Structure 1
Amino acid sequence: MTGPPAGNRPTGLPEGPRDRPAALDRTKLLAARFRAAQDRPYLATALFSITVVESHQVPTMGVDRRWRCYVSPEFVDRTPVPHLAGVWIHEVAHLLRDHHGRADRLPVGQRHDHHRVNVAQDCEINDDLVTDGVALPADRIEPATFGLPDGRTFEQYLPLLPPEVTGGVDCGSGAHGLDRPWEHGATAGVGAVEVQAIRRDTARQVRSHLRSRGTVPAGWQRWATELLEPRVDWRRALTGAVREAAAWASGAVDYTYHRPSRRSSAMRGVVMPSLRQPVPRVAVVVDTSGSMGTPQLAAALAEVSGVLRAVGIGGNRVTVLSCDAAVHVVQAVHTVGEVQLAGGGGTDLRVGVEAALRVRPHIVVVLTDGYTPWPAEPLVSTRVVAGLIGADAPLPPSWITSVTIDD
């Protein structure tokens, strides 16, 4: 579309109209963006944060990581305004859902074909748009194109795509993460801090729109929830809680006469005690009542085993108690993986905690679904960490450090 080479044109003659590339119809393009913002007001802030860059290299429209949208004038000329509005919504979805950041985190074997990644991303976006009645060009890609179900993420769609799917789709580095030749960066774009602010504002607008009208697609609802209420990695949280409790216990000091102080030699006839720093003793109380699921318990126990190894607690300094409404098994173990669980009745972990205190632990870790009475008063010299299995587990008293374990 750039015309014949200059050497094929008669010298001295002005450039003809057929030789000039089509100019971008910005009025039409911006009218389409305005329509998209009117139809989907929760996306307005994000839509108007995008900078338009005219390009004759980009096939249609594409975005980069800095929220610049590269637009083909020829594509704008041949595309009706309603479909252009749909493309605006599609492109801003790539940016809001952080597709380029997520693509960077794909396993190496899955990100080698950026076109294929882009197809999977389009499947994630367009199922919502089609369901929501957004007008899109006829050659759009959606899960139904490949006989796949709606409502999945692009990471889930990617391995499900037929092997022959490759090439032909390119929404820019703002989607698949690979820099494109037309992304020359003529304008400053949007910075990383501002991007996060735009995403959070849009997520709040999604929720507000949902409360007032109830017409937000399920994909946008999930995205807003994940952004505003990010799920905590329970393994890291549980590790941190046990590490903190272990550090607190290790910081405790006491006097002992088993190894007299070296200063005793300066004081004839007086034996002075030395300070010692105890290795933390840990008791793990495992809820084995009938409401507990075996897979969750196994995962939690394996993680606590790793935590205890990481903080240097082992040998006979770990006691595991299996408890429902009564204590069934008490074991001194080298690793939590040696534990044998028993029970299956009702739940009252107060008896488990009480039994755990008999071994004078510095830390008590309780693994439970939360449906249990708890001790009424804080423990004086023992830290309690509760691993609550299940997203809806009731919270323990505030003096207990709680971590939700939700797989």
Structure 2
Amino acid sequence: MHIVLLHVPRVKELMARYPLPPWVYNFVTDAKANQEIIGPLFPPLQLTWRPIMPEDVEQRFSVKGAREKSLEEIIKEVYEKEVQRAGEAPPPSSPQDLQLDGGSEQRGEVIQEGDEPAGRGLTAEEIKAAVARKVVEAVVTLKTAGIDPGKWDRLAAELLKPRADWRGLLRPALQHGVGRAVRRTWSRPSRKAPGLYPGKELLGHGKVVFLIDVSGSIGDRELSQFLTEAYAAAKEVGRIVVVTWDAKVQGEFALTRHSDIRKIKVKGGGGTAITPALRHVLEKHKDAALYVILSDWEISDLDKAREVLEEIAPRTIAVTTSRPPPPLPFLKVIRLE
């Protein structure tokens, strides 16, 4: 959780501005990390020791609302209190000098410096990208194990950036569907010529169906990217249905807003056959304005499914992470590198 919350780069920046002793930073970052672990992600643990929590920060440093405040807000407040207490004197260099709660800790002795880091150090952007990828992979693993990741589900979708421009893709694809969803009505007369022409009544946007491959050939990283693409598309259109499949349909989830991405429960891991999923969506969602198939296209029954694919291809975006889709008149083919 220290990695997820990017505590190392954040602390480096804070220490340059607020030169408090390292143990203060350790205390506060431990509390903020434990805040995200004990309760939200895992139940309270039966331990022989009690982990440091935000309430301990409040008691130790006389900071109110530590659970709601950020690391930066807490450190700034602690530093300002200490400067005020010391009468503008230089900040303390040891726990004994910091008299916020008696300073009971003892200064430690460094017995091993550790190895020098090998190779080039990562940039801040590279660190953030690596963290985002690992958070998403962890969330997908939790889902696969049947564990609800809670608020981290949405965090994962926000961390991993979509690779497709869904606003650009959906706009032309849905124009026909939107056109059919507009009808003339006399209940709202035309503003340009009242009494001469009926007005327009918008019935809403067309429905988009995402068919997400969750078979055994799809790795955590691919699956997390597929979920991210669905999350990004849900921001652009109000009616999205996600169908997960391997050799059979594993689940169907309606997303009426992008935050509904947490409804998706990932299970699967079997062989890859697309025919059952295609028959399912044609039976239940034949009125869809657009279909999006996300897969590595390592599909065993493509020959059998070809007739159904040909039927929906003009309204289908094919997304692949490996093999190219069959040469059909797809609306668009997208490769996710």
Q: Name the TM-score class by shorter chain.
A: 0.3 to 0.5
TM-score, L = length of structure 1: 0.36
TM-score, L = length of structure 2: 0.42
* Structure with greater Cα Rg: 1
